[in-house]
């Protein structure tokens, strides 16, 4: 008899984001391991075509856009799936609403397991929304206490859980995120993109992601201001959009960096692998912001770049040290220290062989330890320790 697993994910592809990607890729990887997977996820326009695959079944539910307002409707769906699909275990991608809805449906006594990514467990009074989530922290603690086990995506995330939730250490396990080598892989540089971005004979730095202040793109720009004297020609491509875009554009104009920095907007998914391979070094200088709060719990982009043999210059913050190993697969710097960032950037420009060496090491590490199949196998081992077929 196949092991039946119900996955609950309020964030799910084709929606963008790290949790949505993790949920989808993990469901695919688990379904390839003789696991019968069913996913409960929100309905979105256009999901019918996306859901036409053979990996697993997806039950789409019309839910409010608010996670808080979705809890009880999601609870009813979980109870229905427990009765009909009869899962041997439930895996929740977020504690709210996924884990909370599962907790309220737990009278059915199906064991559930909780994945924690990072920022969602941090308490903050920064906004009305955060105050409401803070008020729910006793329920968060009950969800985590009642979960069979908690899977944290990094050592940093595990420490966050221990700091904010009174949870026994022996039920918290570190299971890193993964990346898909069928989606991201080394390939020749796209000549059309080279011409489009004027990259002939220029070293290319790349950032991809949502443009928010904690991502440290401002610090990268300030560091590049100090590198205009460097004799190695370079360019910095920034892909994505977000609330920090206008401020960042003003910085580039103020420091007369238009020749060196280009904003390229949102990149279509099919072109992501081309842009990773277009670059020579990936950059994400995220810093820890406990007020808002914002922090990198891990960072899928580092693994995606690595699968294209691209090393990363990253901020030594949050869960990033689980994804980027210095000095083997990239460089870790103080994300608040402009001088250190600039020195490291200049060293990268002046040592292309070292860049290639770290890129190869990053590629080999992800292939051997950090694919979605690796994450799925570790989760299966934990589930089967508690649940019998």
Q: 191-369 falls under which CATH superfamily?
A: Glycogen Phosphorylase B; (3.40.50.2000)
Tens digit of each residue's pLDDT (9 = 90 or more) over 3-44: 999 999 999 999 989 999 999 999 999 999 889 999 999 998
H/E segment holding residue 70: helix 67-84
Tens digit of each residue's pLDDT (9 = 90 or more) over 136-172: 889 999 999 999 999 999 999 999 999 999 899 999 9
H/E segment holding residue 204: strand 203-208
Q: Is the pLDDT of residue 51 over 80?
A: yes
CA 341 to chain CA centroid, Å, is 23
Domain segments of the chain as ranges? 3-178+371-386, 191-369
Length of the chain: 389
Strand partners, 138: none
Per-residue 3-state assignment (H helix, E strand, C coil) for 220-268: HHHHHHCCCCCCCCEEEEEECCCCCHHHHHHHHHHCCCCCCEEEEECCC
One fold for 3-178+371-386 and 191-369: yes
Q: pLDDT band for position 388 (50/70/90)? A: low
User: Which residue would you say has higher pLDDT here, 68 or 260?
Assistant: 260
Q: What CATH architecture is 3-178+371-386? A: 3-Layer(aba) Sandwich (3.40)
């Amino acid at each position: 008899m196949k092991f039946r697993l119900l996955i609950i994910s309020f964030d799910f592809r084709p929606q963008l984001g790290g949790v949505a990607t993790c949920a989808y890729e993990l469901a695919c990887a688990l379904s390839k391991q003789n696991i019968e997977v069913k996913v409960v996820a929100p309905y979105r326009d256009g999901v019918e075509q996306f859901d036409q695959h053979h990996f697993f079944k997806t039950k789409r539910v019309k839910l409010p856009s608010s996670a808080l307002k979705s809890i009880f409707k999601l609870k009813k769906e979980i109870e229905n799936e427990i009765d009909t699909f009869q899962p041997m275990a439930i895996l929740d991608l977020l504690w709210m609403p996924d884990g909370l809805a599962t907790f309220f449906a737990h009278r059915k006594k199906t064991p559930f397991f909780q994945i924690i990514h990072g920022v969602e467990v941090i308490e903050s009074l920064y906004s009305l929304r955060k105050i409401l989530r803070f008020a729910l922290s006793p329920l968060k603690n009950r969800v985590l206490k009642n979960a069979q086990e908690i899977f944290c995506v990094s050592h940093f995330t595990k420490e966050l859980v221990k700091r904010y939730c009174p949870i026994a250490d022996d039920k918290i396990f570190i299971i890193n995120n993964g990346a898909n080598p069928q989606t991201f892989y080394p390939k020749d540089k796209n000549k059309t993109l080279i011409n489009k971005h004027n990259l002939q004979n220029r070293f290319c730095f790349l950032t991809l992601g949502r443009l928010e202040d904690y991502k440290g793109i401002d610090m990268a720009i300030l560091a590049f201001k100090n590198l205009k004297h460097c004799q190695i020609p370079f360019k910095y491509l920034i892909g994505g959009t977000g609330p920090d875009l206008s401020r960042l554009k003003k910085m580039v104009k103020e420091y007369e960096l238009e020749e060196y920095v280009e904003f390229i907007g949102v990149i279509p998914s099919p072109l992501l692998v081309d842009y990773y391979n277009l670059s020579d070094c990936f950059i994400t200088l995220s810093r820890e912001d406990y007020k808002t709060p914002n922090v990198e719990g891990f960072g899928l982009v580092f693994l995606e770049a690595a699968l294209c043999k691209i090393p990363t210059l990253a901020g030594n913050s949050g869960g990033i040290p689980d994804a980027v190993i210095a000095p083997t697969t990239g460089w870790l710097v103080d994300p608040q220290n402009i001088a250190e960032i600039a020195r490291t950037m200049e060293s990268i420009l002046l040592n292309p062989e070292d860049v290639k060496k770290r890129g190869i090491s990053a590629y080999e590490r992800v292939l051997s330890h950090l694919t979605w199949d690796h994450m799925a196998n570790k989760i299966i081992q934990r589930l089967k320790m508690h649940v019998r077929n």
